């Protein structure tokens, strides 16, 4: 069964923000870990029409967001429901997300940023075809963390 993408509702945003909690070091990705990110995610005006609920068999399994950061370049953000992570679901989900954005918006490049400790995600992104661009530091979750920016040429 295919993944379906639809504009994220407020109810879905609140479910993700307050009920999706990741284990161990991945708790870094809990929405509640950073107030600014949480406020932005919960604000329908901030989300606009660029944050999508991803469902499979009518069940919320992930979210996928994007923004056009330069002409032809789209930056994406994504998250999978915690009980589905680390079980081999990422490849199919990420391919579906890339296909969705290519079909709807025809980007030349897709970029993303991932915490450098998250080797599980980095390995997945490289399998899809993302390449390393640069490492940078960013203030989030009450501290400064190292991130890897990656890009995928469409």
Q: Convert the pLDDT of each residue in 24-67 to its tens digit.
A: 999 999 999 999 999 999 999 999 999 999 999 999 999 999 99
Strands (DSSP E) along 31-124, which ranges?
Answer: 51-56, 59-70, 73-80, 109-115
pLDDT at 78 over 90: yes
pLDDT at 96 over 90: yes
pLDDT band (50, 70, 90) for residue 1: low
Provide the percentage of residues in the chain whose pLDDT is more than 70.
99
Q: What is the pTM of this model?
A: 0.93
Provide the percentage of residues in the chain whose pLDDT is more than 90.
95
End-to-end CA distance of the chain: 25
CA 29 to chain CA centroid, nearest Å: 10
CATH number for 3-153: choose from 1.10.3720.10, 3.40.630.30, 3.40.50.150, 3.40.50.2300: 3.40.630.30
In this prediction, residue 142 carries a pLDDT of 80
- Average model confidence (pLDDT) across the chain: 95
pLDDT tens string 110-137: 999 999 999 999 999 999 999 999 999 9
Distance CA 28, CA 11 (A): 22
Give residues with Cβ within 8 angstroms of 125, minimum separation 6.
94, 112, 114, 150, 152
CA 89 to chain CA centroid, nearest Å: 14
Edge-to-edge strand order for the sheet containing 51-56?
3-7, 51-56, 59-70, 73-80, 109-115, 143-153, 131-140
């Amino acid at each position: 069964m295919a993944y379906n993408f639809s504009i994220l509702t407020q109810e879905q945003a609140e479910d993700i923000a307050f009920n999706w909690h990741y284990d161990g070091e991945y708790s870094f990705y809990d929405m509640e870990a950073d107030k600014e990110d949480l406020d932005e995610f919960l604000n329908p005006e901030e989300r606009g029409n660029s944050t999508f609920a991803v469902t499979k068999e009518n069940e919320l399994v992930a979210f996928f967001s994007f923004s056009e950061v330069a002409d032809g370049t789209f930056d994406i953000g994504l998250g999978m429901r915690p009980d589905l992570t680390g079980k081999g679901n990422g490849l199919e989900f990420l391919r579906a997300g890339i296909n969705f954005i290519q079909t709807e918006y025809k980007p030349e490049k897709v970029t993303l940023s991932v915490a450098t400790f998250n080797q599980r995600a980095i390995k997945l992104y490289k399998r899809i075809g993302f390449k390393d661009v640069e490492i940078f530091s960013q203030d989030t979750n009450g501290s400064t963390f190292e991130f890897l920016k990656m890009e995928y040429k469409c």
